[in-house]
Chain A
């Protein structure tokens, strides 16, 4: 009598996988690994704000990488001159800016790389890295003073 557990269609080695065995099967995935960004008609979606758009589950906007972060950038609106440098340089489109006015950080998608802090030209900087668990108020209360010229060098 053949051991039925040996039949290929019952045992495809999935039980031995460390991860991914509960993802979609070959019959459920998209043709050509092509991913659509939005659910429904997206004709005028460019005119909507990101949070108003109907991003599909395939769009990385619907995933969060917040947990990748160890340090977080904190934004101090009192020092910012709205130069947009951080918005230009952020590799994860996580600077929220509307009508060229800097509003804050998208903490769902920020990975805490610190590039925004690096490129900020104000004195003191309008963006500084703090430990992830630090409260906003506490961080702002510890903001440094403007540095004098000789200190800067």
Chain B
């Protein structure tokens, strides 16, 4: 019998601690981990909960992140509830195994504390690792603060383990800006959290000796395509399940989540589309710009995969100009996020103007004032009826002005 963990109705938790508490409350059976900054405390805390008798689970120490995810796959295929955490280089080393996990349809939960990818070495937050996972076949949800890291981690188990989904789920949070920032956090009681998440009901578990199964089959050109598309359809079809889990969570806590979040969008002329903590910082800017007569709104992607193509289109179809903020070096292209949002908007009748800012790499600060400046620039494009600057620009970058590509419209 597990020891009782004392929780207050209101805690002051950082994102890492919040996520680790969610793992404890979800009664995770196995965590195989190779800790890396800034996600270390998530798995470190889980290990201490096991060691101190707060949870009846297994913490497996391994020699690399590749092995960590491999261990998770074994434990998940065996039928357990499984989670781990990583960041940056660790995520990159895990990348090969991420595809194995999703291909085998194993509902592992991975807390990704977003951090820049070397070289040069950097421990702070940007979304390079998150982008690296975007074709890996995992559901990817993004938390903008510590509370959401806790909430979404609980939801992740319920979504991934749903029998009509059966997919691994990543819960992202910004390195340091969320993971090491303590804020007021309101946890569920252990009982309420356990009831919400429920018990895992395994599928094709290897410890079921009445039905032996083979994992990791080889499929050549005669079968591979069908299997990958079946998996793709499963991610696409997870959308209503995600919505249902969010709705159930709201009923329980009053905290509402949507796959696409909109703020001040009712009558917005200009919008910022962003991920992570930047969303919240930009919300203040939008609010403050009201007094200057600028109608600014924010569209935030809660669910990066499956990408909410239709909801993004719906949220932005009435604005005049949109700026998509990419927190990852695109290395020779427009920002990946810009491309996805632009593709959605291309299928609308209104086709708003879309610009791209690369910002915040390696934890570079993003301020309210800078968000305001970007909004004002979008307003200028909207007033002119076409993009008056280069389409891709850089926010918070030292050195001479840099920009790429001009519009052919207007």
A and B touch in the complex (CB under 8 A): yes
A1-9, A38-46, A126-134 - interface stretch: A38-46
Q: Is the CB of A27 within 8 A of B210?
A: no
Q: Is the CB of A31 within 8 A of B212?
A: no
Q: Is the CB of A29 within 8 A of B230?
A: yes
**How far in angstroms is the closest Cβ of chain B from A55?**
11
Interface hub of B104, B204, B230 (most chain A Cβ within 10 A) = B230
Q: In which size bucket is the chain B interface?
A: 20 to 34
Q: For residue A42, which residues in chain B have a CB less than 8 angstroms away from its CB?
A: 209-212
Q: For residue A29, which residues in chain B have a CB less than 8 angstroms away from its CB?
A: 223, 226-227, 230
- Chain A interface mostly: loop
Q: Is B5 an interface residue (CB 8 A)?
A: no
Interface hub of A25, A32, A35 (most chain B Cβ within 10 A) = A32
B142-150, B214-222, B257-265, B314-322 - interface stretch: B214-222
Q: Which of A1-42 contact B (CB under 8 A)?
A: 19-20, 23-27, 29, 31-38, 41-42
Closest B residue by C-beta to A36: B213
Q: Is the CB of B214 within 8 A of A26?
A: no
Cα distance A26–B229 when bound, in Å?
A: 7
A32 interface neighbour in B103, B209, B222, B233, Cβ under 8 Å? B103
Q: Is the CB of B230 within 8 A of A26?
A: yes
Q: Is the CB of B214 within 8 A of A58?
A: yes
Q: Is B105 an interface residue (CB 8 A)?
A: yes
Closest A residue by C-beta to B101: A32
- If A27-B230, A38-B211, A58-B214 touch, whether A32 touches B223 (CB-CB below 8 Å) is no
- If A20-B221, A42-B210, A43-B209 touch, whether A34 touches B215 (CB-CB below 8 Å) is yes
**How far in angstroms is the closest Cβ of chain A from B289?**
45
Q: Is the CB of A31 within 8 A of B204?
A: yes
Q: Is the CB of B166 within 8 A of A31?
A: yes
Q: Which of A68-117 contact B (CB under 8 A)?
A: none
Q: Is B33 an interface residue (CB 8 A)?
A: no
Q: Is the CB of A32 within 8 A of B204?
A: yes
B104 interface neighbour in A24, A26, A32, A38, Cβ under 8 Å? A32
**How far in angstroms is the closest Cβ of chain B from A29?**
6
Q: Is the CB of A34 within 8 A of B213?
A: yes
- Chain B interface mostly: loop
**How far in angstroms is the closest Cβ of chain A from B77?**
9
Cα distance A58–B214 when bound, in Å?
A: 9
**How far in angstroms is the closest Cβ of chain B from A35?**
4
Q: Is the CB of A24 within 8 A of B226?
A: yes
Q: Is the CB of B210 within 8 A of A41?
A: yes
Q: Is the CB of B203 within 8 A of A36?
A: no
**How far in angstroms is the closest Cβ of chain A from B142?**
26
Cα distance A43–B212 when bound, in Å?
A: 9
Q: Is B197 an interface residue (CB 8 A)?
A: no
Closest A residue by C-beta to B220: A20
Q: Is B154 an interface residue (CB 8 A)?
A: no
- Mask, B151-194, CB within 8 Å of A = 1, is 00000000000000010000000000000000000000000000
- Mask, B329-369, CB within 8 Å of A = 1, is 00000000000000000000000000000000000000000
Q: For residue A38, which residues in chain B have a CB less than 8 angstroms away from its CB?
A: 211-212
Interface hub of A25, A34, A38 (most chain B Cβ within 10 A) = A34
Closest B residue by C-beta to A43: B210
Q: For residue A33, which residues in chain B have a CB less than 8 angstroms away from its CB?
A: 103-104, 217, 219, 223, 227
Beyond A26-B226, A34-B214, A37-B213, 5 extra complex contacts between A and B, CB < 8 Å: A32-B204, A33-B104, A33-B217, A37-B214, A41-B210
Of all A-B residue pairs in the complex, the 3 with the closest CB atoms, nearest first, are A32-B105, A20-B222, A26-B226
User: Could you name 21 residue pairs across A and B whose Cβ atoms are closer than 8 Å?
Assistant: A20-B221, A20-B223, A24-B226, A26-B226, A26-B227, A29-B226, A32-B104, A32-B106, A32-B204, A32-B215, A32-B231, A33-B103, A33-B217, A33-B227, A34-B105, A35-B213, A36-B214, A37-B212, A38-B211, A42-B211, A43-B210
